[in-house]
Structure 1
Amino acid sequence: MSSDATSSDSSLDPHNDAAAAQADDGSTGQMVEDVESTAAELDADGASRGTLRDVANSLGISSAVALRALRGADEIKPRMVERVREAAERLHFPLEELSGETEHRGVVAVLVNTMRNTWISDLVRSIRIELAATGRTAVVVPTRRRLPEYPVAVDTDAIENLVHLGVDGFLMVSDLADMDEVLEATGNRPLVGIGCSKELVGRIDTVRIDDEVGQGLLVDHLVSLGHREIAHVGGVGAAVARERADAFRAAMARHGLADSARVEPGDFTEQVGQTAGSMLLRGSQVPTAVTCANDVTAVGVLSAAREAGYDVPEAFAVAGYGNTSLASSGVAELTSVDPNSERLGALAAQMLVDRVSGHEGPFRDVAVAPSLVARRTTAAGPRPETTRRKRISVD
């Protein structure tokens, strides 16, 4: 069991007095306007209530300061306490769920397929911030178990042990293998899926990435640069991968490029991404650009391009998905889709707390709209076919 989710986090530092003082700067009018703007955005998204992060962002303060203000901490100025509580009420934040600073009523388990995906750390941070308001914490639990007779299986024993230990509930990042077994292992504990596939809608509470919008943003971006021969690496290994591949095809068809919408099979790993990239680049019809199922896959494609002698982005543009630290690193500078991990994690944590607190009713589903972050790997349009391959002279 990993305890990544309980590591130190400056955004939850209870001694962040400087931030509290800075936040109380007298700009009441702007704060009111920002709170109303946030409320309008929540209404547009169909959200019944805001998260702790929504309250903090609407006032231009950290989540730590917002939480301390809601708890009535002595070091927070009375005027700031008043503003935070007013914002919380306006955004329908559940003040009745607020706990005292020293109360820790339970632990939430975050179930993941792997610890190698850096997207998970972004999600866990936002989950922790939201859970902190109710005195809860989170632990991250890898669930993938490899058996000789099966390539991938879920470790239901670990999930059942968590139930016996008395966890409040479960947050599941992406689809796990053997979902029927997962649902049985969690027993009567609430389970909320984050970044999962449409296949789970109606079976559990779900907070998904709107992949139709995400892949559409990538294709729109590449087409605007002049690309027409665009491929996608993905579609294998999980329902989410298939849905992203379908969203890519739909986006290409919207531009009248359905005949050029090639999907090279790949999962979410760098190794398979590199193999798929090599297949694309050694074919008779090489695309000028490629979108990928995630950032890790895109890094593999970049490696294949380098080995094949293709300049990126002049000869071959590459885009990822997830906007992880891999994408933003100075080495990759990878164009990627930002799934709004902060909102995904906060909404999922909120849904779980609702269920733990006794909320009943149909399972809910929220699709969070992502955004595009353009970087160096798609900074140029396609070259003519005759000049795309980098010539390497051999003496």
Structure 2
Amino acid sequence: MGDFESAGPAGGNGASPRPRLEDVAARVGLSTASVSLVLRGVPGPSERTRQRVLKAAADLGYRPDRTASTLASRRSRLLGVVIDVHSPFHAELVEHLHTAAEEIGYDLVLSTRTRTRTESTAIETLLAFRCEALILLGSESADAELAELARRAPVISLGRRIIKAGLDVVRTADDVGVGQVVDHLVELGHHSIVYVDGGKGVIVTDRRRGYRSAMRRNTLDAHIRVLHGGATEHAGELAARHFLESGDLPTAVVTYNDQCAIGMLTAFRRAGVDVPGKISVAGYDDDTLSRLASFDLTTVSQNAEEQARQAVTAAVERLDHGRTAPREIVLTPVLIARGTTSEPR
């Protein structure tokens, strides 16, 4: 059982040698096979034995060498995740993905998409690390590119609708979610409701469509107004500045996501515009910032925990159970009404 090594400091120049699996076994008086079972989390050893082994490993500074273990088993049991480094919602998804993966003996490798690093580069990095399946958060790749990628490894698109690409999709009904916000504002008595767009992409299109459909459903066709925006706090600040400088302030604004809404809130408050007294503001995602008392943002929850669980389940069904037919799981979003929306005054 030589598939574990220490990741502690290398010996040399009189430094202590790195502890080995045999050292842990000698400390607790067990075989290396039994110690290996405990350290790999395999069922069998008693809880008392587990605690003894884990304490001895900690005392000795022993750490398993995952690379050696991977080579021995020919399975990496790694799920690769591509995230947008600027997205608080993606950070929350990753936390839930870690939990769901660890519960069934898998681990994650993260690769970031940034303003200077493309999604394709992030994906190739994950494949180089021998990730067995890929979970793409809010993917920006073309459908044809994703279909080609799905022939190399199981792919789960988390958050984005994809048609006929041969891969799994886990998402919420974004059009429904934005529609819930519009309905909420209409019920409060608003008619002049502007939507601040998020740029380009499938998710952006779905949310914009949800706004237009809800306005028409509420017989507010004449009030439909979409303002160019973006997915960042800066985009929200620019949108707020546009309203302030034009003097054409609606009674309510729905933004593409929470980041944009928070930027807008900040700009309005800096200008002395009361929210929600003068204007109501709502976002989308229910990310961690939206829940802070300083923002208390009305938004839409996408149920990040359930999305993550479904994405990991889909990957494992492909890897461990041989499922080949693509699946789409669409969750229903939930409106979270907080302190940034009220009746128009």
TM exceeding 0.5: yes
Identity of aligned residues (%): 31
**Bigger-Rg structure (1/2):** 2
Deviation at 1:318, TM superposition (A): 0.5
Aligned-pair RMSD on alpha carbons? 2.5
- Structure 1's 156 and 254: CA in aligned 2 closer, same or farther, altered over 3 A? same
- Structure 1's 201 and 307: CA in aligned 2 closer, same or farther, altered over 3 A? farther
- Structure 1's 158 and 208: CA in aligned 2 closer, same or farther, altered over 3 A? closer
- Partners of 1:303 and 1:140 lie apart in 2 by 31
- Partners of 1:266 and 1:370 lie apart in 2 by 22
Q: What is the aligned partner in structure 2 of residue 268 from structure 1?
A: 231
Deviation at 1:274, TM superposition (A): 1.2
Secondary structure of the residue that 2:212 maps to in structure 1? helix
Q: What is the aligned partner in structure 2 of residue 234 from structure 1?
A: 197
Q: What is the aligned partner in structure 2 of residue 111 from structure 1?
A: 82
Q: What is the aligned partner in structure 2 of residue 24 from structure 1?
A: none
Aligned residues: 280
* Residues 216-253 of structure 1, C-alpha deviations (whole Å, 9 max, x = no match): 21111111111111111114132211210110111111
* Residues 169-213 of structure 1, C-alpha deviations (whole Å, 9 max, x = no match): 1000012245544554565211101111x3446542101111122
- Partners of 2:164 and 2:150 lie apart in 1 by 17
Deviation at 1:310, TM superposition (A): 1.3
Q: What is the aligned partner in structure 1 of residue 156 from structure 2?
A: 192
Whether 2:281 is the aligned partner of 1:281: answer no
TM-score by length of structure 1 reads 0.65
- Partners of 2:115 and 2:209 lie apart in 1 by 29
- Structure 1's 329 and 202: CA in aligned 2 closer, same or farther, altered over 3 A? same
Deviation at 1:131, TM superposition (A): 1.5
Secondary structure of the residue that 2:197 maps to in structure 1? strand
- Structure 1's 185 and 366: CA in aligned 2 closer, same or farther, altered over 3 A? closer
Structure 1 residues not aligned, in runs of 5+: 1-67, 77-102, 147-152, 384-395
Structure 2 residues not aligned, in runs of 5+: 1-40, 49-72
Letter of the structure 1 residue corresponding to residue 343 of structure 2? G
Q: What is the aligned partner in structure 1 of residue 136 from structure 2?
A: 172
- Partners of 1:332 and 1:245 lie apart in 2 by 24
Deviation at 1:160, TM superposition (A): 2.2
Whether 2:179 is the aligned partner of 1:208: answer no
- Partners of 1:284 and 1:201 lie apart in 2 by 46
- Structure 1's 258 and 180: CA in aligned 2 closer, same or farther, altered over 3 A? same
2:305 to 342, 363, 367: 342
- Whether contact under 8 Å (1:295, 1:321) holds in the other structure is yes
- Partners of 1:73 and 1:231 lie apart in 2 by 61
Deviation at 1:116, TM superposition (A): 2.0
Deviation at 1:74, TM superposition (A): 5.4
- Whether contact under 8 Å (1:215, 1:244) holds in the other structure is yes
1:291 to 251, 254, 273: 254
- Whether contact under 8 Å (1:160, 1:186) holds in the other structure is no
Deviation at 1:363, TM superposition (A): 1.4
- Partners of 1:155 and 1:211 lie apart in 2 by 22
- Whether contact under 8 Å (1:159, 1:185) holds in the other structure is no
Letter of the structure 2 residue corresponding to residue 289 of structure 1? A
Whether 2:114 is the aligned partner of 1:144: answer yes
Secondary structure of the residue that 2:226 maps to in structure 1? strand
- Whether contact under 8 Å (2:150, 2:166) holds in the other structure is no
Secondary structure of the residue that 1:376 maps to in structure 2? coil
Letter of the structure 1 residue corresponding to residue 329 of structure 2? V
* Residues 333-385 of structure 1, C-alpha deviations (whole Å, 9 max, x = no match): 1111111111111001100111112533431111111111111111x2112xx
Within 5 A, what are the aligned runs for 1:1-395? 105-112=76-83, 114-144=84-114, 146=116, 154-178=118-142, 180-181=144-145, 184=148, 188-196=152-160, 198-200=161-163, 202-378=165-341, 380-383=342-345
Secondary structure of the residue that 1:134 maps to in structure 2? coil
- Whether contact under 8 Å (1:292, 1:321) holds in the other structure is yes
Deviation at 1:266, TM superposition (A): 1.3
- Partners of 2:143 and 2:199 lie apart in 1 by 17
- Structure 1's 262 and 354: CA in aligned 2 closer, same or farther, altered over 3 A? same
